[in-house]
Amino acid sequence: MLRQRKETGDNSSVSFKPFALERLFARWEFRAPHLLSSSDCESLTVKELLAIAGWSAEALLDVGLGYTDSQGDPMLRSVIGATHGVNADDIVVCAPAEGIFLIATALLEPGDRVVVETPCYQSLEELPRRLGCTVVRWPLVETADGWRMDLDRLDELLAPGTRLLVLNAPHNPTGHLPSRTDMDAIFALADARGARVLVDEMYRGLERTSAERLEPACARNERAVSLGGLSKTHGLPGLRIGWLATRDRPLVEALIAHKDYTTICASGPTQILARAALENHDALAARSLDIVAANLERARSFIDRHGERFAWREPAAGSVAFMRYTAGSAAAFCERAAEEAGVMVVPSTVFDFEDAHVRLGLGRRGFAAALAALEAWIT
């Protein structure tokens, strides 16, 4: 059950850290000629999306520009629910980043213990910290064969009374995909300790095969929450549409109430386009996976040529990879690449992780040109 929020007093001494990843993109995204670390997949135009959906432009021209249902358009929620194995009433439509804010403010209060899988998108741990929670990091472990979860360590960290466990699968920035066995063990442990589970599933649909796809958290456990959206797999970050999905009805009501203080509702035209995308999920996901597969092959060849500088940890899913840089500071390397070669590369330091990795974004068609520009510079 949700708890009644307590009076918390003055919390002004706890301030937001600058959002390192977003500040880096603000600096370079529209300045550097080449982006090598974008996490989204190649975007579409409205015309292209409507063509894939088989819709005419008339489908948009008659859409009203008034307020919409705060929880989200019922038809859109029905489509989302069907893809997650839950009902339309279990869905709250929101911007993806807004969803992280809503779940944190609706669920957490000062003193709560929150365990967060790291490295991670900064707001997944920063928002609980800003709310006065005790945030405990659970790092993925790097091995010669890739990344893995340390379940023994989680057993130590997930103390009884932990309020929330935050996961990301498929994982950004490593591209790790947990096995079903690992996820079964994680949910069993969370249940035993009374912890609710939030899974950031923004990259769901970008598994190498559909057989590897994990069951949504919201379908697995009635208290669990899935965070999803159209920015990554579908290549539609400009729509700013995502969702929270949970079968916990009191939490749904709390999320809607907190949404009154953020966006209130999503736009009508945006939700129509979102429905067009989700009704054609397979076509959009296949398009993105084709781009990722081609760029994965380019990344492998690059590593073969430059193994003295980089160690390859092949991603299991998603549109990003986390490559170890073995020739010094990753942050310094990325700064020089942007300044001298016009290639924006994201270092691991923006994820508050050791200064030894760079993130590759595999989902865009400009990857080949960006990688070639980087290679010309380092050689």
Structural domains for the chain: 20-45+282-378 (3.90.1150.10), 56-279 (3.40.640.10)
Structure tokens at 27: 């600096």
Q: How far apart are CA 170 and CA 140, in angstroms?
A: 13
What single-letter amino acid sits at 366?
G
Tell me 267's DSSP state.
Answer: -
| pLDDT tens-digit series, residues 267-321 | 999 999 999 999 999 999 999 999 999 999 999 999 999 999 999 999 999 999 9
3-state secondary structure of 360: strand
Task: Report yes or no: 334 and 358 within 8 Å, Cβ to Cβ.
Answer: yes
Contacts of 95 (CB under 8 A, 6+ apart): 229, 240, 241, 242, 263, 266
Residue 154, pLDDT above cutoff 90 = yes
Task: Report yes or no: 54 and 283 within 8 Å, Cβ to Cβ.
Answer: no
Residue 7, pLDDT above cutoff 90 = no
- Pair type for strands 141-143 and 34-35: unpaired
pLDDT of residue 58: 86
pLDDT of residue 110: 97
What average pLDDT does the chain have?
Answer: 95
Q: How far is CA 90 from the centre of its chain?
A: 20
Structure tokens at 200: 């950031």
- Among residues of the chain, what percentage have pLDDT more than 90? 93
Comparing CA positions, the residue from 132, 76, 118, 107 lying closest to residue 265 is 76
Task: Report yes or no: 206 and 285 within 8 Å, Cβ to Cβ.
Answer: yes
Residue 12, pLDDT above cutoff 50 = no
| pLDDT tens-digit series, residues 169-190 | 999 999 999 999 999 999 999 9
Minimum mean pLDDT among 57-66, 74-83, 250-259, 317-326: which range? 57-66
Structure tokens at 92: 């709250």
pLDDT of residue 14: 54
Per the rule left: phi > 0, alpha: psi between -120 and 50, beta: everything else, 341 is alpha
Residue 3, pLDDT above cutoff 80 = no
3-state secondary structure of 368: helix
What single-letter amino acid sits at 236?
L
Q: How far apart are CA 374 and CA 315, in angstroms?
A: 20
| DSSP of 230-258 | SSSTTS-GGG--EEEE-S-HHHHHHHHHH
What single-letter amino acid sits at 137?
R
Residue 13, pLDDT above cutoff 60 = no
CA distances from 173 to 1, 45, 207, 314, 324 (A): 33, 26, 15, 12, 12
pLDDT band per the 50, 70, 90 thresholds, residue 145: confident
| DSSP of 108-158 | --TT-EEEEEES--THHHHHHHHTT-EEEEEE-EEETTEEE--HHHHHHHS
Give the mean model confidence (pLDDT) for residues 149-177.
97
CA distances from 309 to 87, 323, 353, 379 (A): 49, 10, 19, 11
Query: How many helices, marked H, and strands, marked E, lie in the chain?
Result: 14, 15
Q: How far apart are CA 228 and CA 239, in angstroms?
A: 13
- Return the beta strands (E) in 161-219 as ranges: 164-168, 196-200
What single-letter amino acid sits at 290?
D
Residue 8, pLDDT above cutoff 70 = no
Q: Report the predicted TM-score, pTM, of the whole model to 2 decimal places.
A: 0.94
pLDDT of residue 15: 72
3-state secondary structure of 293: helix
Q: How far apart are CA 35 and CA 29, in angstroms?
A: 7
Residue 48, pLDDT above cutoff 60 = yes
Task: Report yes or no: 282 and 234 within 8 Å, Cβ to Cβ.
Answer: no
| pLDDT tens-digit series, residues 216-275 | 999 999 999 999 999 999 999 999 999 999 999 999 999 999 999 999 999 999 999 999
Exposed (0-12), middle (13-18) or buried (19+): which is 174, by Cβ within 10 Å? buried
